[in-house]
């Protein structure tokens, strides 16, 4: 009787010993076991109570194995995701993180392609000592509304040996129908007319750089010429001038000094040996997302102020820099520190307004762009960065333009 019982429970013991049990073999072995034992008992001349008990045990064993088979099948149907599936889900549905959280190094991937989002333009200007990269990408909100990317940027090296050049970023107003045309006009003409002034006053000559007063005067004259160009574009195409509304962020950089100007919102910063610092205070209106544009009457009166900032705002950076960044407001939530939370007694808290670059992110981007590993993938690096670096950039629906330069 002991041997019969051990034999009957052999399939159950094999289930315990092996995690890779074949369910079909299990059922077959159980049925065969029952058949063998029944055949063996048929040799007896009479049915005894012990044999009845043995058959009962057989039946119970068969039922147990069938139940186990059902559980195995259900378990396999509910198997966990494979590591590859989990990685994909993490990309598509990123876990919540703190704002401006530092992320690991970005490895470009073809998961997002230009077919899904419009890369309006990518720029790479390079000298032996200087590299500048720029990208303008359509926002998800504009994709949904079938609106083209309204951001634009332009970079031009004026003297490659001395690392002198101009960088400009423009953000077309979201509510302006033809602002994509306006932002392009702003960038193209800002560089065009600033170059004319640079040649006129011989600023590329030794000790010929302007002072703050002359720089401010040239900026205002340049903006006036940009406005005339916008007016001519509106007239020739029968547009309303306000439909071309766009901002302007401009940097004229040299090894000794740099010169900055802007109209509207966005962010800009420089890096020196002391770290990153801001050089732009956005022109913000009383309502959210309200700002001023190049198409507005901003040159008269001469002392026009918006949110406590002169329009246009001009600045002379009287020191050498080793990096700079210009960006439209679509990038600022992910790459700029705009406020700081301060804890108060009794569990209360308040936010203090700040305006400084998010250094870990910008330094990480420069590190990646300067890496030999991505020497032939700079556009992909820039695209992945503005789209995925942190949660704020991932969730941003506005167009994004980022222009970053650094000395090697």
Same domain, 207 and 65: no
Query: What's the pLDDT band for 286 if we cut at 50, 70, 90?
Result: low
The range of the structural domain enclosing residue 289 comes to: 106-407
Query: What's the pLDDT band for 66 if we cut at 50, 70, 90?
Result: confident
Please check whether residue 173 lies inside any domain of the structure: yes
Q: What is the mean pLDDT of the segment spanning 129-157?
A: 96
Helices then strands (H, E): number in the chain? 12, 15
Residue bearing the bigger pLDDT, 109 or 255: 255
Please check whether residue 59 lies inside any domain of the structure: yes
Sheet architecture: strand order including 313-317: 151-159, 164-171, 248-253, 258-263, 313-317
Kindly tell me if the per-residue pLDDT of 266 is higher than 70: yes
Q: What is the 3-state secondary structure (H, E, C) of 339-377?
A: EEEEECHHHCEEEEEEEEECHHHHHHHHHHHCCHHHCCC
Same domain, 253 and 329: yes
Same domain, 204 and 258: yes
Q: What is the mean pLDDT of the segment spanning 269-293?
A: 90
Kindly tell me if the per-residue pLDDT of 293 is higher than 70: yes
Longest CA–CA span in the chain (Å) reads 124
Instruction: Please report where in the chains the tokens 């790479």 appear, as a residue.
Output: 124
User: Could you tell me the pTM of the whole model?
Assistant: 0.72
Query: What's the pLDDT band for 70 if we cut at 50, 70, 90?
Result: low
Helix (H) or strand (E) holding 70: helix 49-77
Please check whether residue 97 lies inside any domain of the structure: no
Evaluate whether 154 touches 188 at the Cβ level (below 8 Å). yes
Same domain, 133 and 274: yes
Kindly tell me if the per-residue pLDDT of 280 is higher than 90: yes
Q: Which of 60, 77, 94 is the last residue of a domain?
A: 77
Q: Which of 61, 77, 93 is the last residue of a domain?
A: 77
Please check whether residue 92 lies inside any domain of the structure: no
Please check whether residue 369 lies inside any domain of the structure: yes
Same domain, 70 and 134: no
Top-confidence range, 43-47, 70-74, 103-107, 265-269: 265-269
- How many CA within 13 A on the CB side of residue 194? 29
What are the tens digits of pLDDT across the range 341-387?
A: 888 888 787 888 899 999 999 999 999 999 999 999 999 999 999 99
Same domain, 271 and 368: yes
What are the tens digits of pLDDT across the range 187-234?
A: 999 999 999 999 999 999 888 999 999 999 999 999 999 999 999 999
Please check whether residue 99 lies inside any domain of the structure: no
Same domain, 33 and 173: no
The alpha helices in 300-348, defined as continuous H runs, are 332-335
Q: What is the mean pLDDT of the chain?
A: 81
Same domain, 36 and 141: no
Q: What is the mean pLDDT of the segment spanning 70-92?
A: 36
At 326, list the tokens. Answer: 């210009």
In whole angstroms, how far apart are CA 206 and each of 29, 215, 255? 95, 17, 12
Same domain, 177 and 283: yes
Confidence at residue 83, expressed as pLDDT on a 0 to 100 scale: 29
- The candidate with the shortest Cα–Cα distance to 294, out of 404, 156, 190, is 190
Please check whether residue 90 lies inside any domain of the structure: no
Same domain, 208 and 346: yes
At 135, list the tokens. Answer: 């990208």
Q: What is the mean pLDDT of the segment spanning 181-186?
A: 98
Same domain, 37 and 161: no
The total number of structural domains that make up the chain: 2
Evaluate whether 314 touches 329 at the Cβ level (below 8 Å). no
Same domain, 289 and 182: yes
The alpha helices in 101-152, defined as continuous H runs, are 140-144
CATH number at residue 322: 3.60.40.10
At 360, list the tokens. Answer: 């870990």
Please check whether residue 232 lies inside any domain of the structure: yes
């Amino acid at each position: 009787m002991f041997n019969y019982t051990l034999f009957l429970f052999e399939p159950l013991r094999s289930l315990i010993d092996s995690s890779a049990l074949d369910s079909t073999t299990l059922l077959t072995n159980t049925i065969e076991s029952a058949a063998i034992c029944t055949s063996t008992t048929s040799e007896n001349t009479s049915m005894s109570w012990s044999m009845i008990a043995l058959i009962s045990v057989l039946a119970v064993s068969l039922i147990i194995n069938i139940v186990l088979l059902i559980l195995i099948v259900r378990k396999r149907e509910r198997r966990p995701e494979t590591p590859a599936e989990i990685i994909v889900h993490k990309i598509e549905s990123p876990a919540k993180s703190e704002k401006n959280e530092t992320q690991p190094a970005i490895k470009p991937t073809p998961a997002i392609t230009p077919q899904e989002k419009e890369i309006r333009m990518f720029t790479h200007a390079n000298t032996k000592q200087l590299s500048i990269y720029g990208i303008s990408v359509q926002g998800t909100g504009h994709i949904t509304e079938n609106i083209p990317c309204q951001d634009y940027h332009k970079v031009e090296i004026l003297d490659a040996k001395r690392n002198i050049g101009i960088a400009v970023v423009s953000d077309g107003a979201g509510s302006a129908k033809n602002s994509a045309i306006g932002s392009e006009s702003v960038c193209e003409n800002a560089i065009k007319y600033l170059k004319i002034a640079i040649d006129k006053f011989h600023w590329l000559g030794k000790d010929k750089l302007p002072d703050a007063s002359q720089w401010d005067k040239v900026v205002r004259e340049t903006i006036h010429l940009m406005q005339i160009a916008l007016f001519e574009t509106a007239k020739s195409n029968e547009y309303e001038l306000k439909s071309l509304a766009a901002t302007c962020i401009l940097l004229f950089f040299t090894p000794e000094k740099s010169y900055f100007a802007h109209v509207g919102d966005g962010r800009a910063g420089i890096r020196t040996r002391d770290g990153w610092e801001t050089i732009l205070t956005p022109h913000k209106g009383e309502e959210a997302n309200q700002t001023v544009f190049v198409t507005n009457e901003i040159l008269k009166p001469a002392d026009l102020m918006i949110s406590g900032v002169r329009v246009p705002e001009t600045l002379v950076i009287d020191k050498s820099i080793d990096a700079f960044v210009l960006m439209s407001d679509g990038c600022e939530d992910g790459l700029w520190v705009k406020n700081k939370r301060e804890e108060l007694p009794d569990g209360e808290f308040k936010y203090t307004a700040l305006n400084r670059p998010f250094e870990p992110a910008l330094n990480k981007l420069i590190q990646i762009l300067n890496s030999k590993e991505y020497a032939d993938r700079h556009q992909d690096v820039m695209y992945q960065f503005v789209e995925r670096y942190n949660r704020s950039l991932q969730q941003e629906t506005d167009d994004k333009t980022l222009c970053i330069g650094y000395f090697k």
